[in-house]
Structure 1
Amino acid sequence: MGHNHSHDHSHSHIHSDLKGRNLLISIVLNILITVSQVIGGLISGSLSLLSDALHNFSDVISLVVSYIANRLAKKEASIHRTFGYKRAEILAAFVNASALIVVAILLINAAIHRFSDPKHIQSGLVIWLSVFGIIMNGLSVLLLKKDAKSNLNMKSAYLHLLTDMMASVAVLIGGIFMELYQVFWVDSVLTLVIALYLIYMGYDLLKDSTKMLMLFTPDNIPIHKIVEEVNQFESIQNVHHVHVWQLNEREIHFEAHIDFNEDIAISKFDEVLHEIEALLLEKYDINHVNIQPEFSKDDNKDMIVQD
């Protein structure tokens, strides 16, 4: 069965190279932030600065995973990998979201312990290093913003950087408060706020990537309605054994068995198939259709069948 899909390969190659380059620059920037904040956090005694460093370290890991996934996604399909590495970016998004939540739990635990044992903090160092973090993360956010709108993996990397920039802003405000008023419990409060925000941002991303990995039907695909519409075709008696899944952000697959009213020629089936493909693409953005034609076949006619 054929598909009519046109792609501007030269444009997508240039865009993908730019995307990879931007990720690589962001990785270098975040390594600089992490190293400076770890040293500064240990010297100043600031848990919020160390938590920001830990968050940045998770950024480095997630960006490296995203970079590798971005490179793998461009590899051609083969006999042993018929889909190529198209799902690498979804897997990367899942790993990144999981890392956000794990880091958040570690931060909450550390902040709770610090509440019972507050320490004096060199707030001047906290202020300068948080400003440095804001500038570096701000540059990274700008580099990835465009690609984050159309790619789940890039969105996960973008969210990591955006939350870390906001965390650095919070640490800066906390540093100013500590410098002016000597209220060092602010450090633990900020750590808790950063951690809770990490969980909030990571949850949706974890949920979306899990749905794709589990091949769940995309939320915007109404299977019952699609089956009703395809059943309206004059030559079709029944649509059953339906599967709909999202391979990655660009590909939604539809698979079904279709009973025909009569024993039609292959050329006639191709005409009907073309009409079904057009319907699914125009109304539901389903761009890969696989239909198994049947006539008087004795099999399960339920719409959804557990394989």
Structure 2
Amino acid sequence: MHQHNGHNHSHRDLKGRNLIISILLNVLITVSQFIGGIISGSLALLSDALHNFSDVLSLLVSYIATVLSKKKASTNKTFGYKRAEIIAAFVNSATLIVVAVLLIIESVERFMDPQPIGYNLVIWLSLLGILANGFSVLLLKKDSDHNMNMRSAYLHLLTDMLASVAVLVGGLLMKFYGLFWIDPLLTVLIAIYLIYMGYDLLKASTRVLMLFTPQTVEIQQIVTAISQLPRIKNVHHVHIWQLNEEEVHLEAHIDFTDDISLSEFDIILDRIEEVVHKYGINHVNIQPEFGKCDSKHLIVQD
């Protein structure tokens, strides 16, 4: 299509700044909980430190992707780095699921063999995790609603905050009731939630990376709408894919009823762009044909 969406660079800079703040906070939590876990003998704190360390790595991936997505296209990178944030979302959602499985395995082992720990240190350091991750969650909440990369970072932080809440609850129950088994139970519940949220994001990012047609787009409806335009005989060899969260591309061959001129084709192309824009498609590439002997199937394997 001839028009392109503009980008708010100050908004991207704000995203980068918020990610940097979140990274620094998570480094602080990771180091504190790792040292605290060793001193107190708490596997819960060490587990939460591991979770926070995975957050640091995922946030770094998200930040790098945000920086790369600002880079302009070139002759050897004609799309630029527009898919960097989708790759980051895929990596982060996959690590969410892996960390969740590791937490479940560790929780089962801990449930079978609960051990007394220094609960006071656990309580204070879990509070630190709740406050720091809670602040990071608030920083990324707005961007998470419309950006897959930021949503993956947001989910990492949200689930880690919930994990810290579980550690806090476990610490309080251990202190006042001696219920050392409650911590692994809560961790398992949080890990299941982690898998549930991570799977949806993994599926969504995989669809984009595999060039699948967006779920909101009905190809047959679009083809029918284009076919109703004057002088169009057939629409075939259609590809619709999502480059990133802002761009949906349509590529198709169109068979015309007569041998039209280029200026006439440009007028029809403008009409086609108007039609498909209603379906969320903002980049169009049409191959015009007249009397060409090729497959007229809607979908053709290249």
TM-score interval w.r.t. the shorter chain? over 0.9
Query: 1:3 corresponds to which residue?
Result: 2
**RMSD, matched Cα:** 1.1
Q: What secondary structure does 1:248 align onto?
A: coil
**What is the rounded CA distance, in whole Å, between the counterparts of 2:3 and 2:191 in structure 1?**
47
**Structure 1 residues 70 and 6 mapped into 2: Cα distance closer, same or farther (>3 Å)?**
closer
Query: 2:295 corresponds to which residue?
Result: 300
**What is the rounded CA distance, in whole Å, between the counterparts of 2:219 and 2:144 in structure 1?**
28
1:70 paired with 2:66, answer yes
Shift of 1:292: 0.4
Superposed CA deviations along residues 78-103 of structure 1, whole A, max 9, x for unmatched, are 11110000000000000000111111
Q: Within 5 A, what are the aligned runs for 1:160-239?
A: 160-239=156-235
Amino acid at match of 2:3: N
Runs (5+) with no aligned partner, structure 2: none
1:270 paired with 2:266, answer yes
Q: TM-score, normalised by structure 2?
A: 0.97
**What is the rounded CA distance, in whole Å, between the counterparts of 1:106 and 1:126 in structure 2?**
20
Shift of 1:119: 0.8
Query: 1:148 corresponds to which residue?
Result: 144
Q: What secondary structure does 2:243 align onto?
A: strand
Shift of 1:188: 1.5
Q: TM-score, normalised by structure 1?
A: 0.96
Shift of 1:127: 0.8
Superposed CA deviations along residues 215-271 of structure 1, whole A, max 9, x for unmatched, are 000000000111111111121000000000000000000010000000001111111
**What is the rounded CA distance, in whole Å, between the counterparts of 1:208 and 1:48 in structure 2?**
32
**What is the rounded CA distance, in whole Å, between the counterparts of 1:119 and 1:6 in structure 2?**
57
1:243 paired with 2:239, answer yes
Query: 2:100 corresponds to which residue?
Result: 104
CA contact (8 A) 1:123 1:178 kept: yes
Q: What secondary structure does 1:262 align onto?
A: coil
Superposed CA deviations along residues 41-77 of structure 1, whole A, max 9, x for unmatched, are 2222322222221111111000000000000001111
Superposed CA deviations along residues 165-188 of structure 1, whole A, max 9, x for unmatched, are 111112111111111101111122
Superposed CA deviations along residues 188-207 of structure 1, whole A, max 9, x for unmatched, are 21221222121111100100
**What is the rounded CA distance, in whole Å, between the counterparts of 2:294 and 2:5 in structure 1?**
36
Query: 1:287 corresponds to which residue?
Result: 282
Shift of 1:6: 5.2
Query: 1:256 corresponds to which residue?
Result: 252
- % identical aligned pairs: 66
Shift of 1:39: 1.4
Query: 1:120 corresponds to which residue?
Result: 116
